[in-house]
Structure 1
Amino acid sequence: MGTAFKRNFLWGSSTNAQQFEGGWDKGGKGLSIADVRKISGISDFPGFKKASDHYTHYQEDIALYGKIGFQIYRFSMAWTRIFPNGDDPEASKEGLTFYDRILSELEKYKIKPVVTLYAYDLPLALLEKYNGWMNRECIKAYTRFVETVVHYFKGRVKYWIPFNEQNFLSLDSEYMTGYRAKSREEVFRLEHHFNLAYAAATKIVHQVDPEAKVGGNIGNICVYPKTCNPKDVEACDEFMKRIGYAPGDVYFRGKYPAYLLKQYEGINFDQIIHDGDLEQIKSGEPDFMSLTYYMSSAVGAEDLIENDSQQMNGIKITNPFVKQTEWGWNIDPYGFKHYLEDFHHRYQLPILILENGLGHRDKIEDDAVHDDYRIQYLAAHIERMKEAEADGVDLIGYLTWSATDLYSTREGFEKRYGFVYVDKATLKRTKKDSFYWYKKVIETNGADLSN
């Protein structure tokens, strides 16, 4: 066996309500933008309304998490379960009771909860009423939602994440907010409102529950220059500034860096940034960083082309030196180490890995799923994470994506990530080979990564 992680290292996995919970018409839940989202290219797409139906199967699911040995588990609380229309006069007792039950089940198995407060599931009523995050009224409604759940579950949740991968807003505003930004100015307005809401959430957590921790979340890739041509190196640096460092400077340093404002040069900041806004952003002091990682990518000067709204196009450049998944995602464990050390050196905060995993078309045969490919992917990434810790990176814990098969953002059940297989028709749960492997990894604190 190899070396283990530090004694207090935490092991677990993640899900999100919009992709996992289902129960869209149960418990008084209101419609969210996820419930009405349309995804092209899937002939039998049933939407996120049903997903994996964790709403009905939560006891079974969490019992499996207890058997595998999770010490920590990340999920999101759906805003529309607590306030069906986003800004209702009173919080839903049914919604609060549901998450009370979730926490009680986790407590039964001594699993620490990590709660994300917004994961692309804005109440539809707020989109229709205000254009959602384009309007400051949405910030008020979100803040009230945060205050409600943090007060209600005080002392039971140690780690809070205000937003899931909010730095990707400039890549896909419509998926994340329900509103498609039409200009650079609208992109910045959405980002600014997210940033104000994030800062408000961090303050609420610290004021209401001083024992709890709160951290911003960055989803990113490790970006390499396509060649050693200085123009490609500069493009790589520019990409990291826009998608990684600029949001990191906001979440973890509390300020807009000059290079971010330069990107939006020419827009009327006075109409967007109000008196006191910059002070509010500065007041949002996080306790840790939460990072997600799936792949690396290569960027060249020609790749930084912007579309009509000046939102950067997604970059998935095939790297001939590494293997790719069916969906063209580069499999690069070293990129994980590089990414962790890069952000550690820049921000000097403890890091919680919020997501890391491999999507694949898993097949069930004789009531089993032999997913050696997932085991190989995770083992290689954990080994590199171990090297990063040895180099001085302060790691809180490691959460894979995902605990159980859930509805992938654009591929539905075709693209699976979990340790537990979910039959699309019957919703039957089946433990995969990776379930038993990860159980051993947790038992040995990462010392035994063998298959």
Structure 2
Amino acid sequence: MNERFPDGFLWGSSTNAQQFEGGYNEGGKGLSIADKRYIPSLINGDFEGFKKASDHFHRYKEDIAYYGEMGFQIYRFTIAWSRIFPHGDGEINQEGLNFYRAVLDELERYHIIPVVTLYAYDLPYHLIEKYQGWINRQCIDDYLHYVETVVSAFKGRVQYWVPFNEQNHASFDSQYMTGYVDKNITETFQIVHHFNLAYALATRLIHRIDPKAQVGANIGNACFYPKTCNPVDVQLADDLAYKIGYGNSDVYYRGIYTKRYLDGFLGAHFDEVIQDGDMEIIKHSEPDFQSLTYYFSIPVDHQVYQGNLRNCIKDPNPYVKQTKWKWNIEPYGLKHLLDDYYHRYQLPILILENGLGYQDILENGKVHDQYRIDFLRNHIQWMKKSIDEGVEVIGFLTWSAIDLYSTRDGFEKRYGFVYVDKNDNYRRIKKDSFYWYQKVIKSHGEDLGD
């Protein structure tokens, strides 16, 4: 048995519209870059699965009933911009607003606090055709108009808003996040800078519309550490941790571009991108909390790195296990990040995603996923240590509530507490982890099953 978590701590899970919702051409929704996405690693490179995903669009009442049965106190979902504005701009699609209004109705029925992410890799495709999307400053204005529309429609019903999902990834994964292939380092910085401006303006806009709502940036991070005690590895690990994580957090939570942050875009023509007044906008962002996603640690070896972070991501650590997809499983890494981010920025932290992707097997109508239970239990235990030592954590949201499409690995890589059987009309089947998490929530973290 374990000690109970503090009063007010929230338990729940997360999903993402482009991976979960489906209904890509229903309810007035327009096409997004996710609907047009081409992923060569998949069979034939054609990712049709995003278009139906887990069919949540038609099953949201059933799905949210599962959340209620597990006892969720908080749930994060994303709103698809192209469901609200089919072309990204122009006329509002009232059917889209009505869909998310119905989702909020169901969450309120089960007393579940909503967390809403406003952008997660699904830019309306029309904006790519019109002006190449986020490389153009016009995208900031169109995004803010979308934000204003959504927040105004749901004022008082959403407690936590997250303007972008894993915003910091734009510096090295801009094509996936924006649908645009950056041609040089100046264009990379231009996309990142436009994200930063949009985030800062969105925090202020949300507070103006709904002063009681809270807004926070989301960092998608790993725990970086040197693979050896060679000073070269130590320095490289520090540099990568700053470039991927802390440098971006300095922007989101301190409102500054440090020299070290700009050095990460060496060779960029900043004077072509940063306009008069931009840094004042970023300086006056209004974050209320931090949100983190964490899945794995990265051992940094300069001989493996060779200037490419992706070389290190799957590099094995002899002291920990790896997933089938070669992600290092390291629960302590969550504590390391919680401690560092809290003590650096002194803002409460909402863990937006943490989970294990696995090739679950359905046998005799059951899924025995003890591996997922072990993964989450170990991470929860380390999180509790951080809380006991003074880190303010708002809540713990797993990834994901129900099986959905992995961004690059399809349905083979599953994360949910509920299995989605594509071979049987997308039937939902509770996994062993469903009942385990139900007990965790009911006991407020006291019963982790160990």
Shorter-chain TM-score: which interval?
over 0.9
Residues 48-83 of structure 1 show CA distances to partners (whole Å, capped at 9, x for unaligned) of 111001000000000010000000000000000000
Q: Give the whole-Å Cα distance in 2 for the aligned partners of 1:378 and 1:263.
A: 34
Cα offset, 1:283, TM superposition: 1.1
Q: What TM-score, normalized to structure 2?
A: 0.97
Which runs of 5 or more structure 2 residues have no equivalent in the other structure? none
Alignment correspondent of 2:436: 437
Alignment correspondent of 1:257: 258
What secondary structure does 2:297 align onto? strand
Letter in structure 2 aligned against 1:66: G
Cα offset, 1:117, TM superposition: 0.3
Alignment correspondent of 1:84: 86
Cα offset, 1:303, TM superposition: 4.6
Alignment correspondent of 2:288: 287
Structure 2 counterparts to residues 21-420 of structure 1, below 5 A: 21-43=21-43, 45-88=47-90, 90-306=91-307, 315-420=313-418
What secondary structure does 2:218 align onto? strand
How many residue pairs get matched?
447
Tell me if structure 2 keeps the 8 A contact 1:293–1:355.
yes
Q: What TM-score, normalized to structure 1?
A: 0.97
Q: Give the whole-Å Cα distance in 1 for the aligned partners of 2:310 and 2:374.
A: 32
Q: 1:210 to 1:314 in 2, by over 3 A?
A: farther
Tell me if structure 2 keeps the 8 A contact 1:371–1:434.
yes
What secondary structure does 2:360 align onto? coil
Cα offset, 1:135, TM superposition: 0.0
Q: 1:47 to 1:175 in 2, by over 3 A?
A: same
Q: Give the whole-Å Cα distance in 2 for the aligned partners of 1:327 and 1:415.
A: 9
Q: Give the whole-Å Cα distance in 2 for the aligned partners of 1:256 and 1:303.
A: 29
Tell me if structure 2 keeps the 8 A contact 1:361–1:416.
yes
Structure 2 counterparts to residues 11-30 of structure 1, below 5 A: 11-30=11-30
What secondary structure does 1:48 align onto? helix
Tell me if structure 1 keeps the 8 A contact 2:156–2:213.
yes
Tell me if structure 2 keeps the 8 A contact 1:293–1:356.
yes
Q: Give the whole-Å Cα distance in 2 for the aligned partners of 1:110 and 1:12.
A: 12
Residues 328-377 of structure 1 show CA distances to partners (whole Å, capped at 9, x for unaligned) of 00010111111111111111110000000000000111111100000000
Residues 14-51 of structure 1 show CA distances to partners (whole Å, capped at 9, x for unaligned) of 00000000000100000000011112233274331110
Which runs of 5 or more structure 1 residues have no equivalent in the other structure? none
Q: Give the whole-Å Cα distance in 2 for the aligned partners of 1:433 and 1:317.
A: 31
Letter in structure 2 aligned against 1:67: E
Q: Give the whole-Å Cα distance in 2 for the aligned partners of 1:210 and 1:305.
A: 47
Q: Give the whole-Å Cα distance in 1 for the aligned partners of 2:307 and 2:136.
A: 25
Moved more, 114-123 or 330-339: 330-339
Q: 1:271 to 1:313 in 2, by over 3 A?
A: farther
Letter in structure 2 aligned against 1:437: W
Q: Give the whole-Å Cα distance in 2 for the aligned partners of 1:30 and 1:314.
A: 38
What secondary structure does 2:313 align onto? coil
Moved more, 296-305 or 338-347: 296-305
Letter in structure 1 aligned against 2:263: K
Q: Give the whole-Å Cα distance in 1 for the aligned partners of 2:244 and 2:42.
A: 29
What secondary structure does 2:357 align onto? coil
Q: Give the whole-Å Cα distance in 1 for the aligned partners of 2:41 and 2:273.
A: 37
- Runs of 4+ deviating beyond 6 Å: 311-314
Q: Structure 1 residue 428 and structure 2 residue 427: aligned?
A: yes
Percent identity over the alignment is 62
Cα offset, 1:304, TM superposition: 4.6
Letter in structure 2 aligned against 1:348: Q
Letter in structure 1 aligned against 2:333: G
Residues 129-150 of structure 1 show CA distances to partners (whole Å, capped at 9, x for unaligned) of 1111000011110000000000
Residues 192-233 of structure 1 show CA distances to partners (whole Å, capped at 9, x for unaligned) of 000000011101111110100000000100011011111100
Alignment correspondent of 1:450: 449
Residues 252-293 of structure 1 show CA distances to partners (whole Å, capped at 9, x for unaligned) of 111111101123343321210001100001111200000000
Q: Give the whole-Å Cα distance in 1 for the aligned partners of 2:12 and 2:268.
A: 43
Letter in structure 2 aligned against 1:322: V
Tell me if structure 2 keeps the 8 A contact 1:37–1:47.
no
Q: 1:282 to 1:50 in 2, by over 3 A?
A: same
Tell me if structure 2 keeps the 8 A contact 1:171–1:312.
no
Q: 1:312 to 1:140 in 2, by over 3 A?
A: farther
Tell me if structure 2 keeps the 8 A contact 1:36–1:47.
no
Q: Give the whole-Å Cα distance in 2 for the aligned partners of 1:266 and 1:328.
A: 33
Residues 300-349 of structure 1 show CA distances to partners (whole Å, capped at 9, x for unaligned) of 22355447xxx976633211100000000001011111111111111111
